[in-house]
Amino acid sequence: MNFLVETVQVLLLSIWYNVKSFVHLFVPIKKKNISGEVVLITGAGSGIGRLMAQEFAALDTVLVLWDINQDGMKETARLAKQSGARKVYCYLCDCSDKNEVYRVADEVKREAGDVSILVNNAGIVTGKKFMDAPDSLIEKTLEVNTMAHFWTYKAFLPAMIANNHGHLVSIASSAGLIGVNGLADYCASKFAAVGFAESVGLELLATGKDGVKTTIVCPYFINTGMFDGCQTKWPTLLPILDPHYVAKKIINAVLTDQVYLLLPKSMYFIAALKNILPMEQGIALGQYLGAFSLMDTFRGHSRKKS
Ligand SMILES: *[C@@H]1O[C@H](CO)[C@@H](O)[C@H](O)[C@H]1NC(C)=O
């Protein structure tokens, strides 16, 4: 095509998309109806996983819960039924084990049918300086926080592609956008999860499967126990997030097909600054925000969760 024609075209499109975004600051985007859809949530036995299950349940969905903690999952199932879930299925699944993911995925397909909303939420954190982190925990972190996403996509994406209908939700982290002192393996796993979800999302678009949506969630610390002990320096600028608020924002992002959800809002600004500021200013700003001492007081969960 002609350079001039294409340039004019992309300029006009740019103006149009910006006008549209601007209008949506005031006019809310219509939410989609997910009544009857099968929603799979990994790591559903606690934290954000449990709260998302309750939110999805209230939207008349069929829930498929995965966790390694049977008791936690049972409690989530009870709460989800109370919130109005059409049906709830529970599966013990260790997401760090590829063969187990595939085996349980087959069971899900037989018993609950095709999953149309896949929420990769299970996550773990080592919380040690890199040289102090045992190899086994580093590997486990990558397996649960990243590789499990590969295997669940392999298992559930084919049906979504065939129907050109579905939603892939990746619960990543702001540590998937910016490196953090004391979280090397965790950051690596979350950067990878973000890159993976973003790339597959583009691959789906490029192959015309625009009915399969992607949402990538990058929250700052959430008050769920996973990062117990960690403190934020200026809570007004970067608050520790309330899990109920995060769960509601995630569901809203899914219902409006929002691709990126960064929380709190200041994270959009911080992530953009990272790439444009002079390095030394970035470091100074990081120190000002307490980014270098975030993990100093880390205690974490008393027990591990999947
Ligand atoms: C959503 O769709 C279902 C059918 O799939 C329908 O019964 C229900 O009324 C719809 N809900 C809304 C709020 O439109």
What is the span of the domain harbouring residue 138?
33-289
d(CA 239, CA 233) in angstroms, rounded, equals 9
Output the furthest CA–CA distance in the chain (Å, rounded). Answer: 63
Nearest CA to ligand 1 atom 12: 33
**Strand arrangement, sheet containing 260-263:** 87-92, 62-67, 38-42, 117-120, 166-171, 212-219, 260-263
Say if CB 124 and CB 141 are below 8 A apart: yes
Amino acid at 59: L
Which atom of ligand 1 is least distant from the CA of 36? 5
d(CA 74, CA 34) in angstroms, rounded, equals 24
For residue range 247-305, list pLDDT tens digits in order. 999 999 999 999 999 999 989 999 999 999 999 999 998 888 887 877 888 888 754 44
Instruction: Flag whether 27 is in a domain.
Output: no
By annotation, the residues acting in catalysis are 186
Which atom of ligand 1 is least distant from the CA of 33? 1
Domain count, the chain: 1
State the sign of the Cα–Cα–Cα–Cα dihedral 268, 165, 79, 146.
negative
User: What does the block give as tokens for 281?
Assistant: 């200013």
Instruction: Flag whether 9 is in a domain.
Output: no
Nearest CA to ligand 1 atom 7: 35
pLDDT at 299: 84
Q: Give residue 59 CA to ligand 1 midpoint distance, Å.
A: 10
Contacts of 77 (CB under 8 A, 6+ apart): 63, 65, 88, 90
Instruction: Flag whether 14 is in a domain.
Output: no
Instruction: Flag whether 296 is in a domain.
Output: no
Nearest CA to ligand 1 atom 14: 33
Nearest CA to ligand 1 atom 3: 35
Contacts of 249 (CB under 8 A, 6+ apart): 261, 263
Intervals of the chain under pLDDT 50: 303-306
Q: Give residue 33 CA to ligand 1 midpoint distance, Å.
A: 6
Q: For a ligand 1 pocket test, name from 30, 31, 32, 33 the mutation site with the most ligand atoms within 8 angstroms of its C-beta.
A: 33
Q: Give residue 35 CA to ligand 1 midpoint distance, Å.
A: 6
Say if CB 47 and CB 124 are below 8 A apart: no
Q: For a ligand 1 pocket test, name from 31, 35, 255 the mutation site with the most ligand atoms within 8 angstroms of its C-beta.
A: 35
- For the chain, list the strands marked E by DSSP: 38-42, 62-67, 87-92, 117-120, 166-171, 212-219, 260-263
Q: Is 103 strand, coil or helix?
A: helix
Say if CB 44 and CB 67 are below 8 A apart: yes
Say if CB 229 and CB 221 are below 8 A apart: no
Nearest CA to ligand 1 atom 6: 35
Q: What is the CATH number of the domain that holds 109?
A: 3.40.50.720
Instruction: Flag whether 294 is in a domain.
Output: no
Say if CB 40 and CB 66 are below 8 A apart: yes
pLDDT at 304: 44
Instruction: Flag whether 122 is in a domain.
Output: yes
Instruction: Flag whether 185 is in a domain.
Output: yes
pLDDT at 302: 55
d(CA 133, CA 139) in angstroms, rounded, equals 10
Instruction: Flag whether 23 is in a domain.
Output: no
Pocket of ligand 1 (CB under 6 A): 33, 35-36
